[in-house]
């Protein structure tokens, strides 16, 4: 059985899932999720190919928690309800740059929870917040050109392909092209209207 965790605060993503701030309070459950998905994540996300170590996971969560407090990042985990607490199933973050005028989004989900629309709903919530209260002008995302699911998600949410970085993505099976997508505040507001 996956470890479950309590949460100080949850943001509802419909009836069947929530977002939880990504802080050291969830270290054990988040580490378990990372370990379970490590092999597929190193294929698509830029991360250390060595297996995750609990203390490193805690340190990274301390950094995301600090970034949250400093207002430079909105880092969340996706969780589903269990009998006792929450089961963590994925992660996403909106990182602010350009003195708070633009942002960059990243995401991943546990293999067993792919294909249910949970990431689309998560990223939509972050886009609503980024283009709403945070007042961002544009939000970008970068993904491996061969990452069919990630590119489908970008298209589903109305992102426009703006560029292609040749052989920019180092992966365990060689360097891949990276596709850059962008979305403007006006485009998102039009979709939401
Ligand atoms: C990329 C990744 C996050 C996409 O996850 P996903 O589950 O496919 O994304 P979504 O949440 O948008 O789900 C979309 C699927 O759910 C379906 N779906 C069901 N209900 C839905 C809803 N309410 N809204 C949108 N889609 C819904 C869609 O039809 C689609 O199904 P399909 O893939 O069979 O066509 C995931 O594949 C992943 O974590 N990969 C490994 C790491 C990675 O690539 N990270 C990205 C690096 S840039």
pLDDT tens-digit series, residues 25-34: 999 999 999 9
pTM for the structure as a whole: 0.96
Q: Which of 149, 178, 179, 180 to mutate to test the pocket of ligand 1 (most atoms within 8 A of CB)?
A: 149
Nearest to 105 by CA among 79, 77, 130, 88: 130
**Centre of ligand 1 from the C-alpha of residue 70, in Å:** 30
Do residues 139 and 106 make contact, with C-beta atoms less than 8 angstroms apart? Answer: no
Q: What is the best residue among 34, 107, 117 to mutate for testing ligand 1's pocket, by most ligand atoms within 8 Å of CB? A: 117
- For residue 100, pLDDT beyond 80: no
Whether 5 is covered by a domain: the verdict is no
* Start-to-end C-alpha separation, the chain: 42
Look at residue 43 in the predicted model and tell me its pLDDT: 87
Is 1 inside a domain boundary? no
What is the reported pLDDT for 28? 96
- Write down the pLDDT at residue 2: 83
Report the pLDDT value the prediction gives residue 46, as an integer from 0 to 100.
79
- pLDDT tens readout for residues 128-138: 999 999 999 99
Number of domains in the chain: 1
Residue 57, in any domain of the structure? yes
Find the domain containing 27 and state its range: 11-192
Is residue 146 situated within a structural domain?
yes
Is 4 part of a structural domain of the chain? no
110 located within any domain: yes
Closest atom of ligand 1 to CA, residue 109: 39
DSSP annotation of 5 reads: B
149: CATH: 3.40.630.30
From 82, 79, 131, select the one nearest 103 (Cα to Cα).
Answer: 131
Report yes or no on 6 lying in a domain: no
Going by pLDDT thresholds of 50, 70 and 90, the confidence category of residue 172 is: confident
Residue 94 lies in a domain: yes
């Amino acid at each position: 059985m996956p470890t479950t965790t309590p949460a100080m605060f949850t943001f509802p993503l419909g009836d069947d899932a929530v977002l939880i701030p990504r802080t050291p309070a969830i270290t054990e459950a988040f580490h378990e999720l990372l370990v379970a998905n490590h092999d597929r994540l190193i294929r698509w996300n830029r991360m250390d190919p060595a297996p995750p170590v609990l203390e490193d996971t805690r340190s990274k969560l301390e950094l995301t928690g600090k970034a949250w407090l400093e207002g430079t990042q909105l880092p969340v985990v996706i969780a589903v309800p269990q009998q006792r607490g929450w089961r963590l199933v994925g992660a996403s973050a909106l990182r602010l740059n350009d003195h708070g005028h633009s942002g960059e989004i990243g995401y991943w989900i546990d293999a067993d929870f792919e294909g249910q629309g949970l990431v689309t709903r998560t990223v939509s919530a972050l886009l609503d917040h980024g283009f709403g209260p945070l007042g961002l002008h544009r939000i970008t995302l970068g993904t491996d050109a061969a990452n069919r699911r990630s590119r489908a998600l970008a298209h589903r949410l109305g992102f426009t392909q703006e560029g292609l970085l040749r052989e920019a993505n180092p992966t365990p099976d060689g360097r891949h092209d990276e596709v850059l997508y962008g979305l403007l505040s006006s485009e998102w507001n039009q979709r939401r209207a």
